[in-house]
Amino acid sequence: MKPNRTRILFVCHGNICRSTMAQCVMQWLVDEADLGDSFTIDSAATTNEEIGMPIYPPARDKLKAEGVPIVPHRARRIQAGENAGWDYIVCMDDENIRHLKRILGPENMGKVRKLLSFVGEEGDVADPWYTRNFDETYDDVLRGCQALLAEVTV
């Protein structure tokens, strides 16, 4: 990772839908604002289920339909101790928080926030793997990323 950058890691269960959508959306937002050189953005899973897989095709299709460029991606799992390399670890739901406490350790949760907390909401970003509602997930991801960018660039 390059120094003097805001470093954001998006996290979800498998790293093929929500966190990858957030990574693509956030990269697009910072690039559109001509801030690409000021950020390092990545995503990871809390489980091993989808390791090595690309973005889930319906998630990719939704991003393309919205004009959001797809970043190169293969699912990976967040590692213990990795929290030191990130300024923000942004997860999608309460299950992710439970997994992150186990992986990172409860003492290393200071950088962890749920994405919708940036818009003042306590709710979860619904997992479209189960809901099949990629529109709703995209809308929540976009709102959360816009608010995160506004907070970081204040």
Which pLDDT tens digit goes with each residue over 13-66?
999 999 999 999 999 999 999 999 999 999 999 999 999 999 999 999 999 999
Let me know if residue 135 belongs to a domain. Answer: yes
At 3, the pLDDT band (50, 70, 90 cuts) reads low
Boundaries of domain holding 131: 6-152
- Number of CB atoms found within 10 A of residue 59's CB: 23
116 lies in a domain?
yes
Q: Say if residue 1's pLDDT is above 60.
A: no
CA distance 38 to 46: 26
**Structural domain includes residue 146:** yes
**Residue 148: CATH number of its domain:** 3.40.50.2300
In a domain? residue 30:
yes
Has residue 1 been placed in a domain? no
Residues with catalytic annotation?
A: 12, 18, 127
Q: At what angle do helices 134-152 and 57-65 cross, to 10 degrees?
A: 60
Q: Which of 73, 71, 58, 64 shows the shortest CA–CA distance to 134? A: 58
Q: Is residue 40 part of a domain?
A: yes
pLDDT digits (tens, 9 = 90+) for 142-154: 999 999 999 999 8
Report how many domains make up the chain: 1
Does residue 73 lie in a domain region?
Answer: yes
Enter the pTM of the model.
0.96
Asked if residues 12 and 18 have their Cβ atoms less than 8 Å apart, the reply is yes
91 falls within a domain: yes
pLDDT tens digits, one per residue of 61-118: 999 999 999 999 999 999 999 999 999 999 999 999 999 999 999 999 999 999 999 9
Task: Give how far Cα 37 sits from Cα of 6, 10, 32, 88, 118, Å.
Answer: 10, 18, 12, 17, 22
